[in-house]
Structure 1
Amino acid sequence: MDLGDCYRLLGLRSGACFADIKASYRRLAQQYHPDINPGDSKAKEKFIAVTEAYKLLLHVIPQQETAPPSSHSPFVGYQPTKVTHPETPTKEKPKEKPKPKPPSFSEIEQRLKWKTYEHLQQFLKERRFPQAISLAEALAQRLPADAEVRQWQAISYQIWGRALIAEKQPFKAKIYLKKALKTDPHNKSLCNEVQRDFQMLEQMF
């Protein structure tokens, strides 16, 4: 089950927030729960599938989508008022446009990124490659401009490709090795590893 399947099972669009995912799961779980549908095997299968999709999304979607403003900021709730001298008229100075702040990760995105990285490492260590790939792809979809996330995704593809070579699945291995190169084409060390893997594939034929 990939990430897109999870969203579809819950009746949601890709990238839905945690609140929507939770609400949809509760509604479907109540609808298909075995206690409500005794003896209905289709309802039971649907309940299991919805629950598995919800669990997988919990590893990817942050459970807090908005961060409250810092109570320590002296400007929270502050609205300045214009003060002029009652006897002397003053000319209003042209308002300066505020300079745009450079884009930066929010705290939520940072927590999501490194929490997902920990899960990704654990999945790769346990050789749970489909789950690792789903996590990496979901994170790359949420943070498409992050070069570090793109590198993790490419390495996950390459590791799975090498594992597939060991399992004597050369055609599937070739697909994921090509994905690794396409995802992070400027990573020289990764390219070298993939070239070694392709040499191993050639020896199998």
Structure 2
Amino acid sequence: MEIVDCYRLLGLRTGASYEDIKASYRRLARLYHPDANPTNQQQAKEKFIQLTDAYRRLTSIVQPSSRTASPRAAEPSGRNPNRSVQPPQKSEQTSPQPSTPRVATPKPPSPNSSAKPRSPNPPSSTKPPSVRFTPDLTAIDCRLKQNTYEQLQQALREQRFPRAITLVEGLAQRMPNDTEVRQWQAISYQRFGRYLIKNNQPEKAKLYLRKALRTDPNNRSLWYEVERDLQRIDQVEIL
């Protein structure tokens, strides 16, 4: 097979590049491969063999084109090409060193010091919380609870403790299962107990402080404060 016939068989012009020969052969080989022509495998096989022979012969004489290197950029006019260019020197700057912070040495405790660590104070339970309305309350009960709460707050601020206790006990009888009302009742008892301690009525103060514990036994903050109040009473009685 002549070289011209090889180009013609691959559908190329004479003198085509190596890349064109390779691309054309791949395209025609997929087209005439026997597996791609199940109804005419014999003719496809003969065509495939001819294409392969033409491809092998052309690639044996045509070399892949090498990439030409890009020429160097021309030197600017007036510059000596043989002169070595030195990179600019960076001025060394001494970075300021951070000053070491002084750590104050703690003073040892004085041997005569008898200070004792204070125990953390629990959250105060002496302020009645805001009003909460449960779904089982009627509209009348909601208004009654809100009004009683406002009157209770005013009575506690004015230290009218018997009035406050009367209000909250009446509300507790109407709403015996309301935990919030029970909390208000316990706080009122505790406030009155503290008031009695200041007015030198320890026995009566104990009575109301213990009523506060029985009314709201699950309130840990209340228990802490009431126990502290009872200890104050015991210390006063010892003195």
After TM superposition, the score normalised by the length of structure 2 is 0.43
TM-score by length of 1: 0.50
- Structure of greater relative contact order (alpha carbons < 8 Å, 6+ residues apart): 1
* Higher-Rg member (1/2): 2
